[in-house]
Structure 1
Amino acid sequence: MIEALDCLRQLNIASVMLRLTLAMLFGGMIGLERARKGRPAGFRTYMLVCLGAALTMLLSQYEYYMLNHRWAALAAEVGIRTDVSRFGAQVINGIGFLGAGTIIVTGRQEVKGLTTAAGLWASACMGLAIGAGFYECVAVAFLMIFLSVHVLTPIELLVIENARNMNIYVEFQSLDNVGEIINRIKAQNAQIYEAEVDHGQESLSHHPNAIFTIRMIHQRGGHARLLASISEMESVYVVHDI
């Protein structure tokens, strides 16, 4: 049975499409589970990282094959005696600094920019493949990256909105209102796992605020109902999902 898969281990268009498709599918499935638990790195982030990693490995195999077959005579003529995949490794490592610069943690403890950083890294991997002339792989990778960045956004938002776990940020008048907010959350059939309360003196808002980690009992539409219920309180200034 293992021998029957040998053709898919070779570097051909069917193998390239299968590997990238599996990377997109399996990375997305792992990210889907993380998105349902309300983690910052979710569906599209895992998908893009897995796609970039698969694309990098395919590029290394392509360069090795070409240098030992079609480009062998040219490589011997110019005297290439080093591993050309090292050049790509430097680009991939270098793009990490640029990607890290897009990731920020807001004053409300909300992580932003992870998907942008993952898209930058996947684009760098695609640029390496373009530079190496691996056009077949580039065409498939571009379609999948474009699909991940643009088309699948509503799916990720739908998953997040209907996830059982959520984190909410609330600003309120005084610390005396914390008990009222907790009671309002419990009244919406939600369990509070963790509450991080800030006095507000050192925060940007200058108002007392709290981050609640919550698990919804009734999943569908629970996020909107809970946020609407808390926003109706006179003592609450700001409330939103993070």
Structure 2
Amino acid sequence: MMAATKKKRSFVALVSQFANLKRAFPRHSCMRKQFYPDDIRNCFRRLRSKTGPTMGANKLAGLVAKINQSGLPTSVREGALTLAFNSQVKMAGLAGIHIESLSESQSVLTLKNRFRVQNHIGSVHACGMALLAESASGVVFGMNVKDTHLPLLKSMSINYVKRAQGDLRAVATLTPTQREALERDDKGNVVVDVVLTDAKGERPVEVQMTWAWTPKRPKAP
């Protein structure tokens, strides 16, 4: 009797684990309703389709400027910014990275400590932290790279100094001098400052992201 009960409990636990995995890894599409409500998706489509002079260094900066100046509620504006990024960077969308704010000088991104990104001790996985830092630095860097050039991650250095507690927040900043170099020089690289904190305000990792820019190669005839 006890053996049968034990088997039943094991089966129930296995089914429960499978259900959690299905919820954690849904079929991903950046335009699916389960990721973005209709108002956010429609807002994004409407702003993207608007014509007019480009505002900012490139098309991304122009779209972000339209979203920031739209006068929409904060939640819708953040959702549109997140969709603009995650529709291009699929891994960020799958992990659930969210953009709180974005400009040509600073980005603020968050990552919730959910099942799909957790490690074996229940905190955000090391790769999840790296993805958040890379995304925060990359998107603010990309806001300043001309459409004729290509942004590339040159190197990534991460020191894991303590266990992360709860949700994560990353703030990446470009200095005026760095932005001037991106505008002036045909190619080069900069170290983008990233501060990553957890729910307690602690810094579980020390991050250094070096991004480079170079002219795009002409397409073969």
TM-score, normalization: structure 1? 0.23
More helix by share: 1
TM-score (norm: length of structure 2): 0.25
User: Where is the strand percentage greater, Structure 1 or Structure 2?
Assistant: 2
